[in-house]
Amino acid sequence: MISEILKGNLTEKEVEIKGWIHNKRSSGSIVFFIIRDGSGIIQAVGKKDELKNFEEIEKLTLESSIKIKGIVKKEERAPGGYEVEIKEMNILQRADEDFPFMRKHKFNVNFIMKNRHLWLRSEKMFKVLTIRSEVIQQIRNWFLENGYKEFQSPIFVSGACEGGSTLFEVNYFGRKAYLTQSWQLYAEAAIFSLGKIFTIAPSFRAEKSKTRRHLTEYWHVEAEIPFCGLDDLLKEEESLVCYVCNKIGEKFENWLKEFGRDAKYLKGLSPPFPRIKYKEAIEILQNKNVNIQYGNDLGADEEKILTQEFETPFFVTHFPKGIKAFYHKIDRENPNVTLSADLLAPEGYGEIIGSGEREDNYQILKKRVEEEGLSVKEYKWYLDLRRYGSVQHSGFGLGLERFIMWICKLKHIRETIAFPRLIGKIHF
């Protein structure tokens, strides 16, 4: 595997690589290939006087699949610092000439979306999706190291969690069901059995406006924790975010640099993150002449301005109850606000986590359901949870793609996922 070669333990050894011709240049008697094998990318050199099929090899098309045997050499000038001197090359399949993505050209978004199945092979996608895989792995590590169990909830659901306007409706044997927006309500039922739980699962939102940070199908990292209040919740969130950023910074220094992200920054992140209350956020914005009133939700534009005040992710807490879903716990000291918190990433990225304490009092929750015009009957099962051993509990939801977008300093959320589902069209 190329990744093993790049670690430096195979220098001067013979290796076999099965992969694809990522790029190629030739000078008549010597041909330089860039080879990709799923684990990494490396330069391989073939010489006319050493290879019996040199002429065929020299004419090979990009993306042809090949098998090579060769010797690993240290080579400072090659990307990654190593190259392979090819001793033997077998062609597995010669790719057609018309591969749509010739390297080093620029392609427009529409073309990329239509040819996504082939665009996955680009260096950018290879690197981002490799980092994505590692981010998921590290998230799971953190949860398991911290005593959480992994729990799955249904994708078909009967009611809204995050508000009706972004629900995807499906026909479920003649009655209405929806695609889940969040596992939360089910998770709240499960903590009474399992204790601290987490999931990494898709959530669906029929987003009505086109933005850089909304998908209609995204991966949601969610946690639900019994016997946990807002302060402890924020500690869990910042611990998870720092853990993952530290690991990714350590593992992908060079790739992150190519994306414009300094790995030192990620490695240096440590708790605690700054905390401001919603009220202070509004004051900061008003002092900057932003036209916003107490009670308005923070949109992408407002969040962007707030992020200029911070170098690290930061929490905005205690949102007024009017802009948060019915299940948020009312602050007993100030009944106009909820014990809620969003975590915002700096550099204009904005919200990556939504979280808070859940209302655990039966009467207050029932009143909130009614106030929001929801059906008490439909939420009976959810209200039940406040009747049988109710406890203070909290949870959070982190958008995996938002997190990766910020870590890798990407401009658009579609760059963080293989086959993005965006407002409008599904290409395939």
Binding site for ligand ATP (CB under 6 A): 162, 205, 207, 214-215, 218, 220, 351-354, 397-399, 401-402
Nearer to ligand ATP, 105 or 210 (CB): 210
Cα 390 off chain centre by? 33
Which residue has the CB atom at the shortest distance from ligand ATP? 354
What lies within 8 Å, CB to CB, of 77 at 6+ separation is none
Closest CA to 397 of 227, 263, 216, 197: 197
Least distance CB 267 / ligand ATP (angstroms)? 23
Nearer to ligand ATP, 223 or 352 (CB): 352
Nearer to ligand ATP, 43 or 199 (CB): 199
Least distance CB 363 / ligand ATP (angstroms)? 26
Nearer to ligand ATP, 220 or 393 (CB): 220
Cα end-to-end span (Å), the chain: 32
What does each C-alpha distance from 270 to 67, 246, 274 come to in angstroms? 45, 9, 11
Least distance CB 216 / ligand ATP (angstroms)? 7
Q: Is the backbone of residue 105 left (phi > 0), alpha (psi -120 to 50) or beta?
A: beta
Nearer to ligand ATP, 27 or 209 (CB): 209
Least distance CB 391 / ligand ATP (angstroms)? 22
Nearer to ligand ATP, 85 or 207 (CB): 207
Least distance CB 15 / ligand ATP (angstroms)? 41
What lies within 8 Å, CB to CB, of 108 at 6+ separation is none
Tell me the C-alpha distance between 213 and 266, whole Å.
Answer: 21
Cα 357 off chain centre by? 24
Nearer to ligand ATP, 85 or 217 (CB): 217
Nearer to ligand ATP, 297 or 384 (CB): 297
Tell me the C-alpha distance between 318 and 307, whole Å.
Answer: 18
Q: With contact defined as beta carbons under 8 Å apart, do 304 and 288 qualify?
A: no
Determine how many CB atoms are found less than 10 A away from the CB of residue 37: 18
Least distance CB 410 / ligand ATP (angstroms)? 13
Least distance CB 180 / ligand ATP (angstroms)? 12
Element (H, E) at 56: helix 54-58
Is the CA virtual torsion 78, 266, 136, 200 positive or negative? negative
Angle at 353 between CA 347 and CA 359, to 5 degrees: 145
Least distance CB 398 / ligand ATP (angstroms)? 6
Tell me the C-alpha distance between 207 and 412, whole Å.
Answer: 16
Closest CA to 220 of 354, 347, 350, 376: 354
Nearer to ligand ATP, 66 or 417 (CB): 417
Tell me the C-alpha distance between 365 and 387, whole Å.
Answer: 11
Peptide bond preceding 100 in cis form (omega within 30 of 0):
no
Least distance CB 88 / ligand ATP (angstroms)? 47
Angle at 277 between CA 273 and CA 280, to 5 degrees: 115
Q: Which residues pair with 74 in a beta bridge?
A: 82
Least distance CB 140 / ligand ATP (angstroms)? 18
In single-letter form, the type of residue at position 401 comes to: E
Nearer to ligand ATP, 223 or 365 (CB): 223
Q: With contact defined as beta carbons under 8 Å apart, do 281 and 306 qualify?
A: yes
Nearer to ligand ATP, 22 or 205 (CB): 205
Least distance CB 200 / ligand ATP (angstroms)? 12
Tell me the C-alpha distance between 32 and 47, whole Å.
Answer: 9
